[in-house]
Amino acid sequence: MKTIRKITILGSTGSIGESTLDVIARHPDRFQTFAITANKNVEKILSQCQRFQPRFAVMLDQESSEQLASAIKTTNIKTEVLSGIESLEKVASHPDVDTVMAAIVGAAGIRPTFAAAQTGKLVLLANKETLVMAGRIFMDLVKQHHATLLPIDSEHNAIYQSLPHHYNGNLATAGISRILLTASGGPFRCASLDSLENVTPEQACAHPNWDMGQKISVDSATMMNKGLEVIEAHWLFEAPPDKIQVVIHPQSVVHSMVAYVDGSVIAQLGNPDMRTPIAHAMGYPERIESGVSALDMFKVAHLDFEEPDFSKFPCLGLAYQALDAGGNMPAALNAANEIAVESFLKKRMAFTDIPAMIKHVMQIIQREEILTLDDVLKTDKLARAKAHEWLANL
């Protein structure tokens, strides 16, 4: 008899959360939705409660929590509604939960993801900020509490699948020469540098291959998304920055590769659908059906690869600089980027101002070592304040 895994989905109304619920629905004999969480999307999470009947639904926003609780009272749903960051931590660390999908976008996802690791859960990591801002202390936490960590980003999941089965965190002893992190190049891969100044939020969010939320779509357009993934790969696979190479691959079919010293390159391929890495991690070590159509190599026909243009996409270079500097600099980079993207989406500044704001914040924030989560949050708060100051003077 199969053991049913009870899952908490942190960020169930986002694209990763919805894809996770789709995989769960395909395997009711394997998975049960224990808790779902959102920020403010009452309508969508109410619909999810009606379909999946979780024990808990958590809204980060208090007013939205009250609206959801009121709506649930008019139904026969037994879901208990909670609110606030402490409630997110509660459902991530609850003793009845064995698997946590960490899919909250932004710094808000760090504390509940830490709570899951501290209680030894199987953590399916889609929240970039946990590793970008607090990589060392999070990875130490995973080891200390014997949690299991599986990456959900399509690129990191592809690398995980392409590594030796018993990879011990040492590239050299595993015979690995490089990690090749693929990137689509986003909607402006072929655009001229001069044209980027007039880019609109709508254009930046129109990703050619992936269906993603606004923030991640803009990060893809600036290639900051790939820069954050370089930092993640460093922590996930204990890879030095100079061993992580970004490769532009516009078809988004090869999700990433691992190059070995004998000349072999092992890659993971598939259609650009996040249900593939989600199903891989949820079923691991088994393979389970995801709902993704089989890759038609004859339809794909050819695969292209290019070097990234660091002059056109300076955010990628800024991410490498933050990783090289270490300490609190990746946290400063991330915080400034979040404010920059939010301001761009609100049409308060130009697309080309995004890297300018980030560079400014990184220059004025003093580098410090990160020893605790409080250190991370302190830098996050300071960097956001400096970003707002820069914006006010724009």
The rounded distance, in Å, linking the Cα atoms of 78 and 72 is 8
225 is in an annotated binding site: yes
Annotated binding-site residue? 334: no
The 10s digit of each residue's pLDDT in 141-158 is: 999 999 999 999 999 999
pLDDT interval class at 213 (50, 70, 90): confident
207 is in an annotated binding site: yes
- Of all residues in the chain, the percent with pLDDT exceeding 90 is 93
Annotated binding residue 13: yes
155 is an annotated ligand-binding site residue: yes
Position 218 pLDDT exceeds 60: yes
Which residues does 387 contact at the CB level (< 8 Å), separation at least 6?
335, 336, 339, 340, 357, 361
Query: Is the model's pLDDT at 1 over the cut of 60?
Result: no
Q: For residues 346 and 246, what is the distance between their CA atoms, to the nearest angstrom?
A: 30
Residue 391 has pLDDT above 80, yes or no: yes
Establish whether 140 is an annotated binding residue: no
User: pLDDT digit string (tens) for 366-375?
Assistant: 999 999 999 9
Residue 216 has pLDDT above 90, yes or no: no
User: How long a stretch of residues is the chain?
Assistant: 394
Q: Distance between CA 184 and CA 252 in Å, rounded?
A: 6
Question: Does 271 show up as a binding residue in the annotation?
Answer: no
State the pLDDT at residue 273.
Answer: 94
Q: Can you tell me the mean pLDDT for 74-96? A: 96
Q: Is 154 a known ligand-binding residue?
A: yes
What are 209's two structure tokens?
Answer: 């291959």
212 — pLDDT class (breaks 50, 70, 90): confident
Q: Residue 176's beta-bridge partner residues?
A: 260
Q: How many CB atoms lie within 10 A of CB 99?
A: 21
Rounded CA-CA distance 242/324 in Å is 10
Q: What is the rounded average pLDDT of the residues 355-377?
A: 96
In the structure, what pLDDT confidence band is assigned to residue 64 with cuts at 50, 70 and 90?
very high
Q: Is 226 annotated as a binding residue?
A: yes
Q: Annotation-wise, does 16 bind a ligand?
A: yes
Structure tokens at 186: 């986003």
The pLDDT of 115-135, averaged and rounded, is: 95
Which of the two residues, 166 and 48, has the higher pLDDT score?
48
User: What would the CATH number be for the domain defined by 5-151?
Assistant: 3.40.50.720
Give tens-digit pLDDT for 5-49: 999 999 999 999 999 999 999 999 999 999 999 999 999 999 999
Tell me what the mean pLDDT of segment 200-219 comes to.
85
Distance between CA atoms of residues 258 and 253, nearest Å: 15
127 is in an annotated binding site: yes
Secondary structure of the chain in the HEC alphabet? CCCCEEEEEECCCCHHHHHHHHHHHHCCCCEEEEEEEECCCHHHHHHHHHHHCCCEEEECCHHHHHHHHHHHHCCCCCCEEEECHHHHHHHHHCCCCCEEEECCCCHHHHHHHHHHHHCCCEEEECCHHHHHHHHHHHHHHHHHCCCEEEECCHHHHHHHHHCCCCCCCCCCCCCEEEEEEEECCCCCCCCCCHHHHHCCHHHHCCCCCCCCCHHHHHHHHHCHHHHHHHHHHHHHHCCCHHHEEEEECCCCCEEEEEEECCCCEEEEECCCCCHHHHHHHHHCCCCCCCCCCCCCHHHHCCCCCECCCCCCCHHHHHHHHHHHHCCCHHHHHHHHHHHHHHHHHCCCCCCCHHHHHHHHHHHHCCCCCCCCHHHHHHHHHHHHHHHHHHHHCC
pLDDT digits (tens, 9 = 90+) for 241-271: 999 999 999 999 999 999 999 999 999 999 9
Q: One fold for both 5-151 and 326-394?
A: no
> If you average pLDDT over every residue of the chain, what do you get?
95
Pairing of strands 254-260, 265-269: antiparallel
Q: Are 230 and 135 in contact (CB under 8 A)?
A: no
Which pLDDT band holds residue 62 (cuts at 50, 70, 90)? very high
Strands 244-248 and 265-269: unpaired
Q: Is residue 128 annotated as involved in ligand binding?
A: yes
Res. 121: pLDDT tops 70: yes
Mean pLDDT calculated for residue range 174-188: 95
Residue 249 labelled as part of a binding site: no
Separation between Cα atoms, residue 343 and residue 240, nearest integer Å: 33
Cis peptide bond prior to 187, omega within 30° of 0: no
Q: How does residue 314 score in pLDDT terms, banded at 50, 70 and 90?
A: very high
Of 304, 308, 324, 321, which is closest to residue 359 (Cα–Cα)?
321
Class of domain 326-394: mainly alpha
C-alpha span between 63 and 197 (Å, rounded): 38
What is the rounded average pLDDT of the residues 347-376?
96
Domain boundary assignment for the chain: 5-151, 153-306, 326-394
Strands 5-10 and 31-38, sheet pairing: parallel
> Which band of pLDDT confidence, cut at 50, 70 and 90, is reported for residue 206?
confident
Confidence of residue 211 (pLDDT cuts 50, 70, 90): low
